[in-house]
Amino acid sequence: DIQMTQSPSSLSASIGDRVTITCRTSQSISNYLNWYQHKPGKAPKLLISAAYSLESGDPSRFSGSGSGTDFTLTISSLQPEDFATYYCQQSFSSPWTFGQGTKVEIK
């Protein structure tokens, strides 16, 4: 199985801050990486697919980058509705695997 390592596991940030979350995979996966946003009590939501393709309707302050084994999710200017847990997931091979998550909290 492909191992996924996300960092940090949590972070505190203020409104307007630039936030960066990283995801590292145990083997090269090209750009086959998805990002999800999960708010408590809600269904997890696909945010970015194929490393950098933002889902339709999602704000452009979210961006993804990376290829190979190192990937990044960036929130350019944190908004109140962005406080959530973010997960990466590899779509390179089954079984599909996820990172441990990064909880973004209010400072």
Q: Are 34 and 91 in contact (CB under 8 A)?
A: yes
Q: Quick one: tokens of 9? A: 């596991």
Distance linking the first and last C-alpha atoms of the chain: 36
What does DSSP say about strands 10-13 and 102-106: parallel, antiparallel, or unpaired? parallel
Using the rule CB under 8 A, give the single segment among 10-18, 61-69, 70-78, 89-97 that binds another protein. Answer: 89-97
Cα separation, 21 vs 73, whole angstroms: 5
Number of residues that bind another protein (CB under 8 A): 29
- For the segment 20-39, give every residue that binds another protein (CB under 8 A): 30-32, 34, 36
Q: Which is nearer to another protein, 74 or 97 (CB)?
A: 97
- Binding to another protein (CB under 8 A) within 41-80 occurs at 41-46, 49-50, 55
Binding footprint of another protein on the chain (CB under 8 A)? 1, 4, 30-32, 34, 36, 41-46, 49-50, 55, 87, 89, 91-101
